[in-house]
Chain A
Amino acid sequence: MGGVGRALADRLLQALFVALLVGVLCFFLAEALPGDQAFRIAAARYGEDMVSGIAADAVRAELGLDRPAWLRLADWLLNIARIDLGVSLVSGESVFEELVHQLGSTIGLSLAALALSALVGPPLGVFFALRAGKLPDAIGTAAAAALRALPSFAVGIALMLVFASWLAVVPAAGYDQPQSWLLPTTTLALGLAATSSIVSRQATLAVLQSSQIAFARTKGLGEFDVVRRHAVRNAAAPVVAYLGVQLVYLVEGVVVVESLFAWPGIGHALVHAVIARDIPMLQGTALAMGLLFVLLNAAVDFACRAIDPRVRHA
């Protein structure tokens, strides 16, 4: 039990480290970018019609953008110590409150997509592996490649056309009805399931070809029992490990899906923050995503340990 406690503390420390690193890195990157921050913020705030030199000067004065960069970074770090993420330069709202609203929507969407893809991808992968070389396998391989080759907005638009425009069974966009979840979740999940089905297929094939399984077969166990007893457990390790990587894809997918389906999430906020050079918002978003990632990653690690006892001794 002590081991788990230590690992947890380890993770927590790592999380803090990652959070600070990401925040500081974002700050420097955003500072180093070419272009005038005051104009970008003014454009994001007041729109193209009203952004002007005068408005930019007012923004510069209001936000103290003339102060040296290190002073502003020090401010941010001091605020972080007090668990205060500052105020968005664009909306003027507290970054923390915006994050709570937007991160919540994104986490909900991501978890739903992960769950759906976990429900579909790996079982399909195992199925394809067992039918390797046959028609279902060929179709599955082609479908996975197609889903990876199509950008997620194309998948999203296609789903929207079929299910919202033609069949009119689900809302095309928005977030005010339970049905609103279907299209964005499915769009995200399809991309994820494509990859995880292929990873599971490979992993299962590898296990099926190993000596253990051959032995099990010679023992006379039925196909289902072989798969259940040996293959699934052994193949699960790479698949779960891969789940961690998928989180990265999620972020990318989330950005597209959120803007396509008018979902008020963090991906949306992130893109806007980069475009507008809204540094506090950028730092806050990256920080939140970083922390979230470390947490999920820890969860995946523990799951891996639980599945594959051999890793525990490593």
Chain B
Amino acid sequence: MHLRGVFCGFVAATVAAWALAASGPAAADETRTLRIVSPWEITGLDPARSGYIFARLQVAETLVGADNGGNPVPSLAENWTVSPDGLSWRFRLRPNAQFHDGTPANAEAVARSLQRAQSLTGGMLTNAPIAEIAAADGVVSIRTDRPFVALLAFLAHSSAIVLAPSAYSEAGAVTRIVGTGPYRATVVEPPLKVEIAKFEGWAGRPPAIARASYLAVTRGETRTAMAESGQADLVYVLPPEAVDRLRRNPRLAVAVAPIPRTRLLKLNAASPFFADQRVRAAISFALDREGIAASLLRSPESQATQLFPPSLSEWHVQSLPALTHDTARARALLADAGWKPGQSGIVEKDGRPFRVTLRTFSDRPEQPPMAAAIQAQLREIGIDMRVAIVNSGEIPAGHRDGTLEMALFARNFSLVPDPIGTLLQDYGPQGGDWGAMNWSSADLARTLEMLGSTSDPAERARLRAAAARVLHAELPVIPVAWFDYGVAASRRLQNVSIDPFELSYRLDAMRWAE
């Protein structure tokens, strides 16, 4: 009998410990903290590594921002002018802009921060033809080597956030985040946590939300549970399979936002398998995009009928014939290209079976199952595709050393709010790490170059359509699905909006419901 007593004691003690500690989620008080959850970890304070987190939290600002259409809007710079030759830009800063350490955000400090951004490894400004960044007469002036219309978009990139002189060590490394935004960072704990509070020195309209915290939660299941339990007020990137369930939750408002990003297959056009356009077209016809979009991504409208999603309205060409699923045509195209049925259903040419390896990575959890689906779909037309789950760096590495055959990933067309920035990197004469491989088109290169220096809207529209057509016909990469993601917001929160370019969480516009 004693023994049972001892045992029961243990159980009771454990239960009591639970009950004691589980006194319920923290009670709300007058300075309620807005809790934000997203999958992205803080990998370092360097703006090229985690600048986007501090930009989204509105702790740090870029010189220029972008509206929902990707057009430049004032941010730290109030207005700007460009010289008639298109080479010299002058940015007038917001008067009485202040860093969080109380020092003025004047032209000198801003220019110095941008100069650092220009030489930043992995930064965006490195890719722009900038000759000089200087401060003169209270304005920041930037000179480019050639007319470069996309400069404003490049300046909106999070690696070009402006930090105070006190943010840098003597060696030039960022040691703390001192920005100019409406919020200041109060706690920064890499890799998971940031806490922010309203900056009292903010000259604009004071934000209604006084405090917020950011937590990086890599697992989608966990983010879902945090939204369901009310532990988080704002949850970014919901797992697709959780969206419907969360929609039924009366405490939550769920929005699915299209993002200018496309999941695509990159092919090595120098390999004997993919040099022939007909083979690339065959692969495109073999893909059941509708099935993938509907059952894996839970978003039927995200099946990619062309490379650019409709959310990139300037680049999406309505009149292009949609990429479709047609296994019979795929087989016929393969046969045209000389691939004949061989042993165990694998097509072969000159005695060589069609056997390739696709590289993809699991940082985006939907990619491995998508690869498995594509594997089965290609098997239908006699292509034996192996799937290698690798580190994302192995894709550009394979691009460089030529060992890459196929890759599946999601390419961001709005690295900077103007997709031309991405396209120049991806589809130039040399191809690009995340774009074409051993494929080039003189036509496309010329079109893109002209786009870089033309500012006449009608001419630009014509050039964009021409570029989209080349990519659609030649298929150097094969679009699979466009990108959208779900955001769950607590109903206690009002004025939530989603920035399609993911530059800002727009916290300053939100407020608590009464």
Q: Are A and B interaction partners? A: yes
Please report which residues of chain B, range 335-378, place their CB below 8 angstroms from some CB of chain A when the two chains form the complex: 361, 363
Whether B28 sits at the interface, judged by CB under 8 Å, is: no
CB neighbours (8 Å) of A53 from chain B are: 396, 399-400, 433
B21-44, CB under 8 A of A: which get 1 and which 0?
111111000000000000000011
CA distance A169 to B25 in the complex (A): 7
Tell me which of B224-232, B453-461, B480-488 binds A: B224-232
The residue from B190, B216, B412, B434 contacting A52, defined by CB atoms under 8 A apart: B434
CA distance A174 to B34 in the complex (A): 14
CB neighbours (8 Å) of B2 from chain A are: 223-224
Whether B49 sits at the interface, judged by CB under 8 Å, is: yes
In the complex, how many angstroms separate the beta carbon of B9 from the nearest chain A beta carbon?
9
CA distance A186 to B399 in the complex (A): 46
B173-190, CB under 8 A of A: which get 1 and which 0?
100000000000000011
Asked if residues B213 and A176 are in contact (CB atoms below 8 Å), the reply is: yes
Asked if residues A262 and B217 are in contact (CB atoms below 8 Å), the reply is: yes
Q: How large is the interface on A (under 10, 10 to 19, 20 to 34, 35 or more residues)?
A: 35 or more
Tell me which of B133-141, B265-273, B386-394 binds A: B386-394
Q: How large is the interface on B (under 10, 10 to 19, 20 to 34, 35 or more residues)?
A: 35 or more
The residue from A42, A163, A181, A264 contacting B122, defined by CB atoms under 8 A apart: A42
Known pairs A56-B393, A178-B21; A224 contacts B3 (CB<8 A): yes
Known pairs A56-B393, A160-B225; A119 contacts B14 (CB<8 A): yes
CB neighbours (8 Å) of B6 from chain A are: 123
Residue of A with least CB distance to B192: A264
Asked if residues A264 and B21 are in contact (CB atoms below 8 Å), the reply is: no
CA distance A38 to B124 in the complex (A): 19
CA distance A260 to B399 in the complex (A): 33
B418-432, CB under 8 A of A: which get 1 and which 0?
000000010000001
Residue of A with least CB distance to B7: A127
Please report which residues of chain A, range 144-196, place their CB below 8 angstroms from some CB of chain B when the two chains form the complex: 157, 160-161, 163-165, 168-179, 181-182, 186
Known pairs A50-B48, A123-B6, A227-B3; A36 contacts B393 (CB<8 A): yes
B189-227, CB under 8 A of A: which get 1 and which 0?
111110000000000000000000101111101100110
Whether A215 sits at the interface, judged by CB under 8 Å, is: no
The residue from B24, B126, B394 contacting A39, defined by CB atoms under 8 A apart: B394
The residue from A54, A91, A269 contacting B49, defined by CB atoms under 8 A apart: A91
Known pairs A39-B393, A90-B43; A262 contacts B216 (CB<8 A): yes
CB neighbours (8 Å) of A47 from chain B are: 43, 49
Whether B64 sits at the interface, judged by CB under 8 Å, is: no
CB neighbours (8 Å) of B46 from chain A are: 45, 92
Asked if residues B190 and A91 are in contact (CB atoms below 8 Å), the reply is: yes
Asked if residues A50 and B43 are in contact (CB atoms below 8 Å), the reply is: no
In the complex, how many angstroms separate the beta carbon of B47 from the nearest chain A beta carbon?
11
In the complex, how many angstroms separate the beta carbon of A258 from the nearest chain B beta carbon?
10
Asked if residues B231 and A173 are in contact (CB atoms below 8 Å), the reply is: yes
Asked if residues A120 and B226 are in contact (CB atoms below 8 Å), the reply is: no
CB neighbours (8 Å) of B432 from chain A are: 52
Known pairs A58-B122, A171-B25, A179-B23; A127 contacts B191 (CB<8 A): no
CA distance A90 to B26 in the complex (A): 35
A contacts with B: majority SS: helix
A97-123, CB under 8 A of B: which get 1 and which 0?
000010000000000000010011001
Whether A75 sits at the interface, judged by CB under 8 Å, is: no
CB neighbours (8 Å) of B433 from chain A are: 51-53
CB neighbours (8 Å) of A59 from chain B are: 121-122
Whether B397 sits at the interface, judged by CB under 8 Å, is: yes
CB neighbours (8 Å) of A272 from chain B are: 191
Asked if residues B7 and A124 are in contact (CB atoms below 8 Å), the reply is: yes
CA distance A36 to B390 in the complex (A): 12
Whether B13 sits at the interface, judged by CB under 8 Å, is: yes
Whether A18 sits at the interface, judged by CB under 8 Å, is: no
Known pairs A49-B415, A53-B399, A164-B231; A260 contacts B222 (CB<8 A): yes
Whether B10 sits at the interface, judged by CB under 8 Å, is: yes
Please report which residues of chain A, range 26-63, place their CB below 8 angstroms from some CB of chain B when the two chains form the complex: 35-36, 39-56, 58-59, 62
Total A-B Cβ pairs within 8 A: 192
The residue from B22, B230, B412 contacting A179, defined by CB atoms under 8 A apart: B22
Whether A270 sits at the interface, judged by CB under 8 Å, is: no
In the complex, how many angstroms separate the beta carbon of A289 from the nearest chain B beta carbon?
18
CB neighbours (8 Å) of A116 from chain B are: 14
The residue from A58, A164, A178, A259 contacting B218, defined by CB atoms under 8 A apart: A259
In the complex, how many angstroms separate the beta carbon of A16 from the nearest chain B beta carbon?
30
Residue of A with least CB distance to B190: A91
Whether A96 sits at the interface, judged by CB under 8 Å, is: no
Output the residue of A35, A47, A181, A261 with the most chain B CB within 10 A. A47
Whether A93 sits at the interface, judged by CB under 8 Å, is: yes
Residue of B with least CB distance to A277: B391
A183-214, CB under 8 A of B: which get 1 and which 0?
00010000000000000000000000000000
Asked if residues B396 and A91 are in contact (CB atoms below 8 Å), the reply is: no
Asked if residues A50 and B23 are in contact (CB atoms below 8 Å), the reply is: no
CA distance A275 to B391 in the complex (A): 7
Asked if residues A52 and B121 are in contact (CB atoms below 8 Å), the reply is: no
CB neighbours (8 Å) of B43 from chain A are: 44-45, 47, 90-91
The residue from B193, B217, B228, B393 contacting A42, defined by CB atoms under 8 A apart: B393
Output the residue of B1, B10, B13, B122 with the most chain A CB within 10 A. B122
In the complex, how many angstroms separate the beta carbon of B267 from the nearest chain A beta carbon?
18
In the complex, how many angstroms separate the beta carbon of A96 from the nearest chain B beta carbon?
15
CB neighbours (8 Å) of A90 from chain B are: 43-44
CB neighbours (8 Å) of A161 from chain B are: 225
Asked if residues B415 and A55 are in contact (CB atoms below 8 Å), the reply is: no
In the complex, how many angstroms separate the beta carbon of A105 from the nearest chain B beta carbon?
10
Known pairs A46-B48, A92-B46; A157 contacts B221 (CB<8 A): yes
Whether A73 sits at the interface, judged by CB under 8 Å, is: no
Asked if residues A169 and B217 are in contact (CB atoms below 8 Å), the reply is: no
Whether B91 sits at the interface, judged by CB under 8 Å, is: no
Asked if residues A51 and B217 are in contact (CB atoms below 8 Å), the reply is: no
CB neighbours (8 Å) of A276 from chain B are: 391
Asked if residues B415 and A46 are in contact (CB atoms below 8 Å), the reply is: no
Whether A130 sits at the interface, judged by CB under 8 Å, is: yes
Asked if residues B122 and A45 are in contact (CB atoms below 8 Å), the reply is: yes
Residue of A with least CB distance to B213: A176
Known pairs A120-B14, A227-B3, A260-B219; A35 contacts B397 (CB<8 A): yes
In the complex, how many angstroms separate the beta carbon of A256 from the nearest chain B beta carbon?
10
Whether B54 sits at the interface, judged by CB under 8 Å, is: no
Asked if residues B26 and A174 are in contact (CB atoms below 8 Å), the reply is: no
Extra inter-chain contacts (15) besides given A43-B392, A44-B43, A224-B2, CB under 8 Å:
A39-B396, A40-B391, A50-B159, A53-B400, A91-B191, A119-B13, A119-B14, A161-B225, A165-B228, A169-B24, A173-B217, A177-B26, A182-B21, A227-B3, A259-B219
Q: List 16 A-B contacts (CB under 8 A).
A: A35-B393, A35-B394, A43-B393, A45-B46, A45-B122, A48-B363, A53-B433, A54-B126, A56-B393, A62-B121, A130-B3, A172-B229, A172-B231, A182-B21, A224-B3, A268-B191
User: Closest 3 CB pairs between A and B?
Assistant: A43-B393, A39-B393, A46-B122
Taking Cβ atoms with an 8 Å cutoff, the residues of A that contact B are: 35-36, 39-56, 58-59, 62, 90-93, 101, 116, 119-120, 123-124, 126-127, 130, 157, 160-161, 163-165, 168-179, 181-182, 186, 223-224, 227, 259-262, 264, 268-269, 272, 275-276
